[in-house]
């Protein structure tokens, strides 16, 4: 004599309740949600116009100083991840403002940070005893647990996009942070020291392989832009990307940072890319031009210089450039590649 379905359900529920007191739970009730046929993410396509960000940041500049705030930043929160300080499921992004005469005081933390300068020139970032002057379009790295402060000795405000691996470090329960107690760290190296040592296809003879972060901490836009123009002459346009390059670590040849991949992309006027998708949710910040991007089936971004938008994991994306355009972007691709998780689709998106 077999038990009825109702009796079986009651037996199972009683079993689940009983093992729950032992901090046990049945995999078969959640397996389909844990191991999915394709990526499922709460991250949504989203965009932010720089004009809106700038207006809000200037208002914030009148309400709180850089020193009071420690970092005067407005977080770009993904609409599917509100309240979590995330732009994707594992990356953080915000826009920082430093007004003329201000200093954002020295501190250090486990999290890796990137800065991409959106507006302004002449301010500085100091990292582990070396200053670099910031210019529009520069990509600057703050490696983990390095002292850093920012100051603006120019006569105009400066804005940059911050990208950090905060959610990754938070997930791993590996966050540490310290305050120096001084606004500005001692400067022990000459201006441009890291570029002289590592930025000319040369390395010190005793250079160790390092920690996975590039020893070059400022990749100047002027040099990047010149390289893109030289490569344009070959007209080797990729149908999915136009001309897209990644920033590299001169010591290892790998990504410039261990947890975040950074890229620069040239789209000539009237160029339309083929549909593409990949598992690394990607944050884009155009620094030249204007155009339109189609994400998924129904999300369209009309972008121009300094705007920011995000493409979630495994969502198809197409770009259309209304004029010559350059897009900076970053994602968690180095983590996915290291774990053999990265996947892309160049034709069936």
At residue 349, the pLDDT reads: 44
At residue 333, the pLDDT reads: 98
> Could you report the per-residue pLDDT of 312-332, keeping only the tens digit for each?
999 999 999 999 999 999 999
Sheet hosting strand 46-48, strand order edge to edge:
46-48, 308-311, 282-288, 325-331, 261-267, 243-246
> Could you report the per-residue pLDDT of 239-281, keeping only the tens digit for each?
999 999 999 999 989 999 999 999 999 999 999 999 999 999 9
Helices (H), the chain: 5-20, 31-34, 50-61, 66-69, 166-171, 193-198, 221-232, 333-338
Cross-strand partners of 113: 142, 164
At 200, the pLDDT band (50, 70, 90 cuts) reads confident
What does the alpha-carbon distance between residue 56 and residue 95 come to, in Å, rounded to a whole number? 10
At residue 209, the pLDDT reads: 66
Choose among 300, 294, 241, 295: nearest CA to 267.
241
Is the CB of residue 327 less than 8 Å from the CB of residue 259?
no
Token pair 């100091």 in the structure block, residue = 126
Asked whether residue 120 carries a pLDDT value surpassing 90, the answer given is yes
Buried b (16+ CB within 10 A) or exposed e, 85-95: bbbbbbbbbbb
Token pair 């001692």 in the structure block, residue = 186
Average pLDDT over the chain, rounded to an integer: 95
> Could you report the per-residue pLDDT of 31-41, keeping only the tens digit for each?
999 999 999 99
What does the alpha-carbon distance between residue 90 and residue 164 come to, in Å, rounded to a whole number? 9
Q: Which CATH architecture has domain 46-345?
A: Sandwich (2.60)
At residue 236, the pLDDT reads: 86
Asked whether residue 211 carries a pLDDT value surpassing 80, the answer given is no
For the chain, percent of residues with pLDDT exceeding 70: 98
At residue 2, the pLDDT reads: 57
At 297, the pLDDT band (50, 70, 90 cuts) reads very high
Rounded mean pLDDT, 2-17:
85
Task: Give the start-to-end residue ranges of the domains of the chain.
Answer: 46-345
At 22, the pLDDT band (50, 70, 90 cuts) reads very high
> Could you report the per-residue pLDDT of 216-241, keeping only the tens digit for each?
999 999 999 999 999 999 888 999 99
Asked whether residue 1 carries a pLDDT value surpassing 50, the answer given is no
Contacts of residue 349, defined as CB under 8 A and 6 or more positions apart, other chains included, come to: 275, 276, 277, 316, 317
Please provide the distance, in angstroms rounded to a whole number, between the alpha carbons at the two ends of the chain. Answer: 53
Question: Which of 97-101, 152-156, 197-201, 277-281 is predicted least confidently?
Answer: 197-201
Instruction: Quote the strand ranges of 136-278, DSSP E.
Output: 139-142, 148-151, 158-164, 177-179, 218-219, 243-246, 261-267, 277-278
Q: CB-side exposure of 177: number of CA atoms within 13 Å?
A: 12
At residue 212, the pLDDT reads: 87
Contacts of residue 160, defined as CB under 8 A and 6 or more positions apart, other chains included, come to: 95, 96, 115, 116, 117, 118, 134, 140
Total count of residues recorded for the chain: 349
Token couple for 140: 């600057």
What does the alpha-carbon distance between residue 150 and residue 83 come to, in Å, rounded to a whole number? 27
What does the alpha-carbon distance between residue 237 and residue 245 come to, in Å, rounded to a whole number? 12
Asked whether residue 127 carries a pLDDT value surpassing 90, the answer given is yes
Choose among 204, 207, 201, 210: nearest CA to 250.
201
Choose among 70, 73, 93, 71: nearest CA to 81.
93
Helices (H) and strands (E) in the chain, counts: 8, 22
């Amino acid at each position: 004599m077999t038990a009825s379905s109702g009796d079986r359900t009651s037996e199972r529920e009683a079993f689940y309740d009983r093992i729950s007191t032992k901090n046990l739970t049945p995999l078969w009730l959640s397996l389909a949600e844990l191991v999915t046929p394709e990526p499922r993410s709460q991250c949504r396509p989203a965009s932010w116009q720089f004009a809106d960000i700038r207006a809000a940041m200037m208002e914030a500049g009148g309400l709180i100083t850089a020193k009071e705030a420690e970092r005067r930043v407005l977080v770009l929160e993904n609409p599917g991840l509100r309240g979590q300080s995330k732009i994707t499921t594992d990356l953080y992004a915000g826009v920082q403002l430093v007004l003329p005469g201000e200093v954002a005081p020295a501190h250090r933390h486990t999290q890796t940070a990137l800065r991409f300068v959106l507006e302004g020139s002449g301010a500085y970032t100091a990292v582990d005893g070396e200053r670099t002057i910031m210019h529009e379009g520069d990509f600057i790295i703050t490696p983990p647990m390095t002292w850093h402060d920012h100051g603006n000795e120019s006569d105009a405000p400066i804005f940059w996009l911050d990208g950090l691996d905060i959610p990754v470090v938070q997930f791993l329960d590996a966050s540490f942070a310290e305050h120096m107690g001084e606004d500005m760290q001692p400067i022990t190296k000459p201006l441009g020291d890291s570029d002289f040592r590592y930025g000319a296809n040369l390395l010190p003879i005793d250079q160790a392989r390092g920690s996975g972060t590039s020893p070059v901490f400022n990749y100047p836009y002027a040099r990047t832009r010149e390289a893109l123009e030289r490569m344009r002459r070959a007209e080797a346009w990729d149908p999915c990307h136009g001309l897209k390059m990644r920033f590299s670590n001169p010591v290892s040849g790998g990504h410039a940072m261990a947890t975040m991949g950074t890229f620069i992309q040239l789209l000539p006027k009237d160029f339309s890319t083929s549909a593409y998708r990949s598992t690394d949710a990607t944050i884009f910040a155009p620094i030249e031009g204007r155009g339109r991007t189609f994400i998924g089936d129904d999300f369209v971004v009309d972008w121009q210089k300094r705007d920011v938008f995000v493409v979630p994991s495994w969502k198809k994306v197409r770009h259309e450039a209304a004029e010559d355009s350059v897009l900076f972007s970053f994602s968690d691709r180095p983590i996915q590649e290291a774990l053999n998780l990265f996947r892309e689709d160049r034709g069936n998106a």
